[in-house]
Structure 1
Amino acid sequence: MLEKGTQAPDFILQDKEGRDVKLSDFLGHRIVLYFYPKDNTPGCTRQACAFAQNFDAFQRRDVVVIGISKDSVASHQKFAEKYELPFLLLSDPELKAIQAYDVWKEKKLYGKVSMGVVRTTYVIDADGTIEMAMPKVKPDTNAAEILAYLDGENEQ
């Protein structure tokens, strides 16, 4: 996982419409960049819906919210439509950003070992520097914890 104070790696990934999006396009804004394992799974859906429910609060703080998984553009489009997700979902099937942000890890589930995305959230400042890194976040509380941090209530 990348540490606080590290320059956030730039990337170009496609959004749910198939358009290229660069992280550096958002310089001048704070960014909440969250990595999640898979569209339409229970935890990932709860996490995405929590960000959607708090989207206005992020916008009022001039914060861009971006979710990244290795799902396809088509999967992201269906996921965003089904749950009315108003923020960017970026597709990373080649694991470019996922590996650059060091969230592709060995995971164990019911004794089975496999590689996958560890649910992680970064807050990136307006200059493109990581100001907070949260590993192994809980899907139900992640959005609220980020808002509390942005308001200075939850220093990391």
Structure 2
Amino acid sequence: MNAWTWRSMAPRDLDRVVALADRLFPDHPEEAVHFAERLALGARLCLTLSHQAGDVGGYAVAYPWPPGQIPPLNESLAPVPMAEGSAYLHDFGIEPAISRSGHARAGLAMLVERARVAGLRRLALVAVNRTVPFWQGQGFEICEADPAMAAKLASYGSEARYMIRDL
């Protein structure tokens, strides 16, 4: 029996989510206050992969955000621009020990369904750490970066790509 299930993220999850994010993405640390702000902004789109024992094995942090714009890392989002029917998947991580168990696809499917129910028409992200092929397999397409976006992408690493999926 699979004891891991995706559910809505709650404020009580943030300490464990931030700790997991710090382990998974040490080159892109973000403070808990910014995770909390993003959770408040996109409560229906933020998910936690939780175990019946209370462990957190994964998370998704997404919120309404205009297409073609990359939100800042580890900074406040205020003021929040109009989302124009789009959401941004800011952070998505799975504990390596359980990463090949279909949890990423299941979490993304739940997120996409919730975005559709909310009336959103597209989902964007920045693919990092050589994950472009995974995201392409989930229906995301690479978008060409203008000079301003290319400058922001550079802070994520040379292989970072801005990607969008129509919902």
- TM-score, length of structure 2 as denominator length: 0.29
- TM-score, length of structure 1 as denominator length: 0.30
Choose between structure 1 and 2: higher helix proportion: 2
The answer to which structure, 1 or 2, has the higher relative contact order (CA under 8 A, 6+ apart) is 1
